[in-house]
Amino acid sequence: MKKILVLGNFTKKKIHDMVSNLKPWLNKYVETAIVDLSQDEIPEGKYEMAVVFGGDGAILSTCRKLSGNQIPIIGVHMGRFGFLAEITEREVCKSLEKVFSGKYSIRKRMLLHCRIQRMGKIICESIGVNDVVISRSSLSRLISIRLLIDGEDVATYRADGLIISTPLGSTAHSLSAGGPLLTPDLNAFIIVPVCPHTLTNRPLVVSGNTKIEIEPLSQSPSIGMTVDGQIYTELEGGDKVMVERSDIEIQMVDTGERTFYGVLREKLNWGGQPNYGRN
């Protein structure tokens, strides 16, 4: 019998109740290990798959908890937007039964690896699924951020912040800041300034093989790095943030029922018609 992880934030009653109700059904097909994302770490063991109940944030958290031990992940959408989750609540049993019988494929997507260097030493590092954001955490003032790519000085931004996004994260914070949409199979980074003072500072797409270095130049406090909107680390003067493609990849289960363009039509209403009003 396959051994799988079942994960979710069980402080949320809706998720707790759904998993509790589904557990007897799940145990007919697989052996389950239940993980509360709000507090638990991944227990030791060899697992074939992770089934994540919640929104995209739960999938991001799961990927980070798995760290270098990535296994196929499938999400059951119980959040608000749900770009990453493959299954809806209504079809959970039908879709999981299909998956447990082996009728699925795996889509591998790039992750980013970010590090903070302080006085020549690495003080913090993390993988990210969607993005790394350098921004001010308190007062709404512009900050200065220097960008280098493969050691070459590219630009110094005066902006509210700077986003370094993966293609998978192009539908997240990067999109809301005016960044382009990238198909998730690309090997690339999107660099998006947030509300730049100089209007010619536009989003930039670079190869995923590049090494990106960011130096916050503002000396004021409360400038930090946020990974996937979940992990925050405050930066000090002289710190350097280094971002590159991770050696590991996230593995997303594909049941063949959703496509990238279908999700855009559904979530961003690309299939809608213009409203010309009434004459």
pLDDT at 172 over 80: yes
**In sequence order, which residues have a C-beta less than 8 Å from that of residue 193 and are 6 or more positions away?**
145, 157, 159, 161, 162, 163, 177, 201, 203
Of 44-53, 192-201, 267-276, the one with minimum mean pLDDT is 267-276
The residues pairing with 181 across neighbouring beta strands, listed in sequence order, are none
What local confidence, expressed as pLDDT, does residue 4 receive? Answer: 96
Of 46-55, 138-147, 207-216, 238-247, the one with minimum mean pLDDT is 138-147
pTM assigned to the model: 0.92
How many other β-carbons are positioned within 10 Å of the β-carbon of residue 123?
12
Task: Tell me if 49 sits within 8 A of 6, measured CB to CB.
Answer: no
Question: What are the φ and ψ backbone dihedral angles of 76, each rounded to 5 degrees?
Answer: -105, 110
DSSP 97-145: HHHHTT--EEEEEEEEEEEEEETTEEEEEEEESSEEEEEESSS---EEE
- The per-residue pLDDT for range 192-230, each reduced to its tens digit, is 999 999 888 999 999 999 999 999 987 666 899 999 999
pLDDT at 41 over 80: yes
What local confidence, expressed as pLDDT, does residue 135 receive? Answer: 93
Closest CA to 259 of 105, 48, 110, 129: 105
More confident of the two residues 187 and 89: 187
Query: What's the average model confidence in pLDDT over 2-17?
Result: 95
pLDDT at 114 over 70: yes
What local confidence, expressed as pLDDT, does residue 244 receive? Answer: 98
What local confidence, expressed as pLDDT, does residue 136 receive? Answer: 85
With bands split at pLDDT 50, 70 and 90, how would you rate the model's confidence at 277?
A: low
Burial of 178 (0-12, 13-18, 19+ CB in 10 A): middle
Q: Mean pLDDT, the chain, as a whole number?
A: 92
> How far is residue 184's CA from residue 145's CA, in Å, rounded to a whole number?
27
pLDDT at 1 over 80: no
> How far is residue 82's CA from residue 68's CA, in Å, rounded to a whole number?
24
Strand pairing class (223-227; 231-234): antiparallel
Task: Tell me if 49 sits within 8 A of 72, measured CB to CB.
Answer: yes
> How far is residue 100's CA from residue 89's CA, in Å, rounded to a whole number?
17
What local confidence, expressed as pLDDT, does residue 221 receive? Answer: 66
Q: Catalytic amino acids?
A: 56
What local confidence, expressed as pLDDT, does residue 276 receive? Answer: 55
- The per-residue pLDDT for range 59-99, each reduced to its tens digit, is 999 999 999 999 999 999 987 777 899 898 888 999 999 99
Task: Tell me the two tokens of residue 183.
Answer: 């198909």
With bands split at pLDDT 50, 70 and 90, how would you rate the model's confidence at 278?
A: low
